[in-house]
Amino acid sequence: MPRPTIKTIAQETGLSIATVSKALNDSPQVRPETRAIVVAAAARVGYQLNMHGVQLRTGKTYQVAAIMTAPGPRQNEWEGVEYAQLLSGISWALEESPYRVSLYAVRNFEESLATIRQIVSLKKADGIIVSGTRADDPRVRIMQEADFPFVTYGTTIRNAPHAYVDADNEQMIRHSVARLAGRGHRRIALVNPMADLSYSLTRLDAYRAALEAAGLPFDPALVAHGHLTPAFGRECVLSMSALPSPPTAYICANEASALGAFSGFHARGLVHGRDAVINATDDLNVSQYFAPPITTYFLPIHEPSELLGRYILRRMEGEAPEALQTLIMPKLIERSDDRLA
Amino acid sequence: MPRPTIKTIAQETGLSIATVSKALNDSPQVRPETRAIVVAAAARVGYQLNMHGVQLRTGKTYQVAAIMTAPGPRQNEWEGVEYAQLLSGISWALEESPYRVSLYAVRNFEESLATIRQIVSLKKADGIIVSGTRADDPRVRIMQEADFPFVTYGTTIRNAPHAYVDADNEQMIRHSVARLAGRGHRRIALVNPMADLSYSLTRLDAYRAALEAAGLPFDPALVAHGHLTPAFGRECVLSMSALPSPPTAYICANEASALGAFSGFHARGLVHGRDAVINATDDLNVSQYFAPPITTYFLPIHEPSELLGRYILRRMEGEAPEALQTLIMPKLIERSDDRLA
DNA sequence: GCGCACAATAAAAACGTTTAATTTTATTGT
DNA sequence: ACAATAAAATTAAACGTTTTTATTGTGCGC
């Protein structure tokens, strides 16, 4: 037996397929009693909407493209980004809707640009979710020019307003620096993401502002930019600890780099809490298992990711982007004393 | 200007849309010269195949469903599964094909079962990739009964033959136990995944066989099953180290649990290399940054994941499942001495 | 009782593609 | 040169929807 269609229901009820279609779509043109008959028949024959017909007719794809920049196969360094949780959060937010998450894995920024261009021009999706935003992001511009619905995970700085979700990096860094300064630290290192990323800039600015507020000088030697891998965190500690006046605190942008920083401590014979301390920002909550556990600003990844899903739905329904902007303040979890020894 | 279709090309060339379609699909029914004309015209007008038309006509979806069992939002414990890399590997393998990866995030086994049932019965995809296989997996049976193409990441034990990719858990555990026994260890603990998972059983069997081969007794107190989180690894160390005759080696099934084991060492005042050692299986290569770095069996996740993508393509083309089965032996990376102190 | 407005339904076209059936054109054998 | 045959093209139908346009039926005022 072939799969039932609206035609099946039409025969079953003696109505036309047009009426059936309208009934199923809650059109006011169809009488409530008729709708009830149609719905009953649909249930009886086990009717399920065939999306392909809808897609062809309406031009809608019912796909939300998630652009995921994953490191290439050559470099298998852990970056500690829980993309899986990010994706599942989005997926769950779309669960009740007819939309599905379509995955576009790209290797770098250029590829993501090309992919987005293609999705927009060939309308391969109805909406796009993209992360790793830059201060001035050409992808955002492309989507805006085409009036294509999208939400970014991460803010931009020099683009026109758009829908976004992000951790409140400014608040977090300000708070973090102030807290460490309040505990006696005068040499605070910033282990920052690649400089072209928007949140890198946000963090740097907040860092400088917070130092100034605390009456501490800014020293460029205490700031490093790089891919947030353990290798990078380790490298930062190895080089900065060799400075004439080494840092007594490291603010790591994620847990992977914090783990690497520990590895650097180990290599240099540094003891956490005595020689220096490590703080982190995280979404994995894995740093509670470090030895010793460290203080982190924790943002459970499912929060922003579900928001991304909900926002893209609303954006595709035409809601204004200005109404879809959220910064979430991560929660401080103090696991170590962090006072300057 | 509306998007060009085969109709556009037909008008452009004076041919019928049928000929255009056949020409673009390399049908032998069309003369090479004609094909050349069509292809040229297509390029000229910037023609791109509209999938919706194809999908409706052929019934094919050109979607590969990736079933991802991600932990729910409530429990945000890191399980160290690099799903992101897994997904991107699949995605890249499909890059040259017309297929896209469609993500289905589920919370647990039951949901994955229901999802697969739905995908199969409503033909929401042309192929399925599923992980977290059980010894006797009902999902596998469903897909086999419907003759639906699929590949599993992980083997099954009591199901009919099917396409799969997996790490060679048996070899790995046999080698691991033999190696530790050769270094003087007589109390080797197995930190194993949940008992219902197929590879849990495989590992346990291999563990017992290897112990026997090494002339060591099997002690159930040295085997633990659980979710491979840091919390679990920690718990294992905390409880097992309190045994009258505690283990001197821990074989952890992934890096997350190994990290937790370290946390347990820290809590108990155990020193790695003196009191006991930790070995792991991993696909992140993050254990090189542990303090100290530990010996691991490393399988770069992109290898199995790209294979998964290639296999599902071949499976969808009708290739026999028996030809699409691969166990990959992870590479041993010795980072610590591991001899019994 | 008659026309009129309006509500409810039906008919038909369209979205872009593939493919079975058919027609036209080219090639071959005698 | 002419059937017979093969090759290459065309015609037309179909996939399952939605939506515009057309038709039918109903209640209403007068």
Quick: pLDDT tens for A217-254. Answer: 999 999 999 999 999 999 999 999 999 999 999 999 99
Report pLDDT for A72: 64
Distance from CA of B242 to the nearest CA of A (A): 20
Cβ-contact A66, A90 below 8 angstroms: yes
Report pLDDT for B148: 97
- The parent domain of residue A291 ranges over 169-300
Are A185 and A252 in a shared domain? yes
Indicate whether A285 pLDDT > 90. Answer: no
| A103 → closest Cβ in B52, B91, B285 | B91
Burial class (CB in 10 A: 0-12, 13-18, 19+), A135: middle
Cβ-contact B258, B284 below 8 angstroms: no
Q: Residue closest to C15, CA→C1'? A: A57
- Mutant choice from A1, A5, A49, A52 vs B, greatest count of B C-beta within 10 A: A52
Are A149 and A198 in a shared domain? no
| A49-71 residue pLDDT tens | 999 999 999 999 999 999 998 76
Report pLDDT for A25: 95
Name the CA dihedral angle for B220, B222, B225, B231, rounded to a multiple of 10 degrees.
150
Indicate whether A268 pLDDT > 90. Answer: yes
For residue A47, give the DSSP letter: -
How long a stretch of residues is chain A? 341
Distance from CA of B95 to the nearest CA of A (A): 9
Report pLDDT for A162: 98
Are B243 and B228 in a shared domain? yes
Report pLDDT for B76: 64
What distance, in Å, lies between the first and last C-alpha atoms of chain A?
A: 77
Are A125 and A180 in a shared domain? no
| Domain-located, residue B340 | no
Are B260 and B173 in a shared domain? yes
Report pLDDT for B72: 64
Are A221 and A231 in a shared domain? yes
Report pLDDT for B98: 93
pLDDT-based confidence at residue A73 (cuts at 50, 70, 90): low
**Does A103 contact B92 at a Cβ distance shorter than 8 Å?**
no
- Mutant choice from A50, A58, A64, A78 vs B, greatest count of B C-beta within 10 A: A78
Q: Round to whole Å and give the CA distance between A20 and A167.
A: 47
| B151-168 residue pLDDT tens | 999 999 999 999 999 999
Nearest Cα residue in chain A from B257: A289
| B114-159 residue pLDDT tens | 999 999 999 999 999 999 999 999 999 999 999 999 999 999 999 9
What Å distances lie between residue B146 and A147, A209, B110, B117, B122, CA to CA? 42, 63, 19, 10, 11
Average pLDDT, chain A: 94
Q: How many CB pairs under 8 A join A and B?
A: 148
Q: Is the CB of A43 under 7 A from strand C?
A: no
Cβ-contact A43, A35 below 8 angstroms: no
Are A126 and A241 in a shared domain? no
Q: Which of B55, B115, B127, B101 is nearest to B318 (CA)?
A: B127
What is the nearest nucleotide to A30, using C1' and CA? C8
Q: Is the CB of B22 under 7 A from strand C?
A: yes
| H-type alpha helices, B151-254 | 169-182, 198-213, 230-240
> What CATH number does residue B193 fall under?
3.40.50.2300
Q: Is the CB of B214 under 7 A from strand C?
A: no
What is the nearest nucleotide to A22, using C1' and CA? D18
Residues of A with CB below 8 A from B118's CB?
none
Are A240 and A292 in a shared domain? yes
Domains held by chain B: number: 3
| Domain-located, residue A74 | yes
Are A280 and A251 in a shared domain? yes
- Mutant choice from A68, A228, A289 vs B, greatest count of B C-beta within 10 A: A289
- Helix (H) / strand (E) element for A8: namely helix A6-13
According to DSSP, the residues that pair with A252 across neighbouring strands are A191, A280
- Report strand pairing: A277-282 vs A249-252: parallel
| B284 → closest Cβ in A59, A78, A92 | A78
| Domain-located, residue A337 | no
Indicate whether A320 pLDDT > 70. Answer: yes
What is the nearest nucleotide to A19, using C1' and CA? C9
Structural tokens at position A284: 């994995």
DSSP for B103-146 reads EEEESSHHHHHHHHHHHHHHT--SEEEEES-BSS-HHHHHHHHT
Q: Which residue numbers in chain B have pLDDT < 70? A: 71-76
**Does A289 contact B102 at a Cβ distance shorter than 8 Å?**
no
- Helix (H) / strand (E) element for A257: namely helix A255-268
| A147-192 residue pLDDT tens | 999 999 999 999 999 999 999 999 999 999 999 999 999 999 999 9
| A1-51 residue pLDDT tens | 789 999 999 999 999 999 999 999 999 999 999 999 999 999 999 999 999
> What CATH number does residue B22 fall under?
1.10.260.40
Indicate whether A79 pLDDT > 90. Answer: no
Are A132 and A83 in a shared domain? yes
Are B244 and B289 in a shared domain? yes
**Does B56 contact A52 at a Cβ distance shorter than 8 Å?**
yes
